Structure 1
Amino acid sequence: MDRQKQRELLRLLEQDSRLTPEQIASLLAEPVETVRETIARLEADKVIVKYPALINWELVEDHPYVTAMIDVKVTPKRDVGFDEVAERICRFPEVKAVYLMSGASYDLSVVLEGKTMREVAAFVSQKLATLDSVVSTATHFILKRYKHDGIQFEDRDEDHRMVVTP
């Protein structure tokens, strides 16, 4: 499969990971076996990492977690830069994502889930801030999700108010 068709296949799976190889083959005008082989190769090469469902947890009763985004200022180490401290942060089970950032006043952005704000605060003060290379942190709690991974969570009804002009 050529690179352009492969990118189309990846976009299709990104939009709906439940598509079958038969459906993808039909959409791409490719043989089903070619699609199966391409998907298997992309999975083996870790281009396709996982097929997640996107859940709107705000609609799930008694969802016990809060999500925080933590800005982390780090002193990079010689020969390994930010990678070593990022890998250490990734090992914590509470950590959902770690990103190296550019153009910001911090170096790493850490997404964390905890049962309470107090639990997140304890993680930051007892585990994250105590790492050798960490210079400072700033914690931001997510209060509401409007859009995630290109999906808007709330479909707003059209505005039916009457337009008033002077």
Structure 2
Amino acid sequence: MYMVREESSAIAEALIRKLLLERPDDSMLYCYLGDITMETSYYNKAIEISNDHNARARKSFGFLMLLRNQFGSAYEHLRRSLELQPIQLGVWFNAGYCAWKLEHYADAVSFEPEHFEAWNNLSAAYIKLGQKDRARKILQEALKFNYEHPKVWENYLLLCVDTAQFEQ
């Protein structure tokens, strides 16, 4: 089994290196290379190329540092990944774990996906898919994090009417 995995990794690495010759500014290719080789330099390159706007690079770098028990570095990368892309539940959990390991207890207990904008956007996507009941439930979550936001309330109330859910 290990021999097959090693051979597959070598083939994937060769393919990615070939693609990098054609697209040297593709930060995702550097992420994939980092995933295969577990070398941090590739994540650094992805971060550099993207002007630190690649959430995947930061997430993968953070997970690698977590595997190596380098909790400070892992925490830094995971936090930045969440700043770039808040809807990553596994990343929230692992960032909280790193904060706990670093004895940053206040940070560890504050890790909740409280970005109501992200919940609102997710709801909008479900509306586009015709899943209004699911969208309404997601907006209920958004309201837990920002009860005062009028636009979220407006969207929620419209969905309640659309789905005939008046008893909340």
Q: Which of the five TM-score ranges fits, normalised by the shorter chain?
A: under 0.3
State the structure with bigger RCO (CA 8 A, min sep 6), 1 or 2: 1
Q: Structure 2 length normalisation: TM-score? A: 0.28
More helix by share: 2
Q: Which has the larger radius of gyration?
A: 1
Normalization by structure 1: what TM-score? 0.28
More strand per residue: 1 or 2? 1
